């Protein structure tokens, strides 16, 4: 059962932090994307929690706060550190929700490790904590990211040969990533479904490119 009041307060906190961010306010598209991504991760996390028997409210809160450090200016290692910074920012807010200290620790540990599996403070790789990063990664390989990758990589501006090579590399990487172990059976099921969709998409694209320069032998 989702505690809507605690979720509402978390959403307000997150949006307030983003509203105070100089970079995000100067780049409204990035701000909109970061918030949209956060909500997608929260919904994936809730689905994992429902099926694995975790506390849904705690998981949604953890996912909502996993990127809260985007409210800060990133330095040289800003992206690498943003999980740990997010945990640091989240901890006092979580205490204001009157959550049990052990649950705050698990939430913060999950937030901290979601970038590079390093927290910077003691903790345990519980299935709950691992699920924060799992939800983040699952979103990173959902449908939206296909469009984002092709757009960012200027796919339409490439030659046919460059497109063919690009797609081949994507397929190789996706097939490797498909076997990545995740923290729960639910996450692994969702992960493989996302990767299978992308593999199917890029395989169809590869087939189309192959048919784009000559009449093939049957």
pLDDT digits (tens, 9 = 90+) for 22-32: 999 999 999 99
The pLDDT of residue 178 is: 96
Is residue 129 within 8 A of residue 113, CB to CB? The reply is yes
Q: What is the DSSP letter of 37?
A: H
Q: Mean pLDDT check: name the lowest of 3-17, 72-86, 88-102.
A: 72-86
Q: Residue 55: which pLDDT band, with cuts at 50, 70 and 90?
A: very high
The rounded distance, in Å, linking the Cα atoms of 147 and 140 is 11
Parse the chain into domains and list their residue ranges: 4-139, 141-210
Long-range contacts of 155-161 (CB under 8 A, 24+ apart): 160/209, 160/212, 160/213
Helix count and strand count (H, E) for the chain? 10, 0
With both helix axes pointing from N to C terminus, report the angle between 56-64 and 28-52 in degrees, rounded to the nearest 10. Answer: 160
Q: Residue 218: which pLDDT band, with cuts at 50, 70 and 90?
A: low
The pLDDT of residue 102 is: 95
The rounded distance, in Å, linking the Cα atoms of 127 and 110 is 9
Nearby residues of 145 by Cβ (< 8 Å), 6 or more positions away = 139
Nearby residues of 42 by Cβ (< 8 Å), 6 or more positions away = 60, 63, 64, 135
Structure tokens at 178: 């498909």
First vs last C-alpha separation in the chain: 57
| Residue labelled with tokens 């081949």 | 168
Per DSSP, helices labelled H in 72-159 are 78-96, 101-113, 127-140, 143-152
How far from 202 is each of 7, 21, 135, 146, CA to CA, in Å?
37, 37, 23, 9
**In the predicted model, is pLDDT for residue 16 greater than 90?**
yes
157-183 pLDDT tens trace: 999 999 999 999 999 999 999 999 999
Average pLDDT over residues 210-217: 80
pTM for the whole structure:
0.92
Average pLDDT over residues 130-138: 97
Q: Residue 116: which pLDDT band, with cuts at 50, 70 and 90?
A: very high
The pLDDT of residue 62 is: 98
**In the predicted model, is pLDDT for residue 150 greater than 80?**
yes
The pLDDT of residue 71 is: 94
**In the predicted model, is pLDDT for residue 79 greater than 90?**
no
Domain 4-139: which topology? Answer: Hypothetical protein af1432 (1.10.3210)
């Amino acid at each position: 059962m989702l505690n809507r009041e605690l979720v509402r307060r978390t959403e307000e906190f997150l949006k307030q932090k983003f509203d105070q961010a100089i970079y995000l306010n100067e780049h409204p598209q990035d701000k909109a994307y970061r918030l949209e991504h956060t909500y997608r991760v929260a919904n994936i996390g809730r689905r994992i929690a429902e099926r694995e028997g975790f506390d849904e409210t705690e998981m949604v809160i953890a996912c909502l706060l996993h990127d809260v450090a985007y409210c800060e200016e990133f330095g040289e290692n800003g992206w690498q550190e943003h999980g740990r910074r997010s945990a640091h920012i989240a901890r006092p807010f979580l205490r204001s929700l009157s959550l049990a200290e052990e649950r705050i620790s698990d939430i913060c540990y999950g937030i901290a490790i979601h970038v590079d599996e390093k927290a910077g403070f003691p903790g345990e790789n519980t299935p709950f904590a691992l699920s924060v990063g799992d939800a983040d990664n699952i979103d990173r390989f959902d449908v939206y990211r296909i469009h984002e990758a092709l757009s960012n990589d200027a796919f339409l501006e490439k030659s046919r040969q460059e497109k063919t090579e690009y797609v081949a590399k994507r397929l190789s990487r996706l097939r490797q990533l498909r076997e990545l172990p995740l923290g729960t059976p639910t996450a692994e099921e969702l992960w493989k479904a996302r990767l299978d969709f992308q593999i199917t998409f890029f395989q169809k694209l590869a087939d189309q490119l192959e048919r784009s320069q000559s009449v093939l032998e049957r």
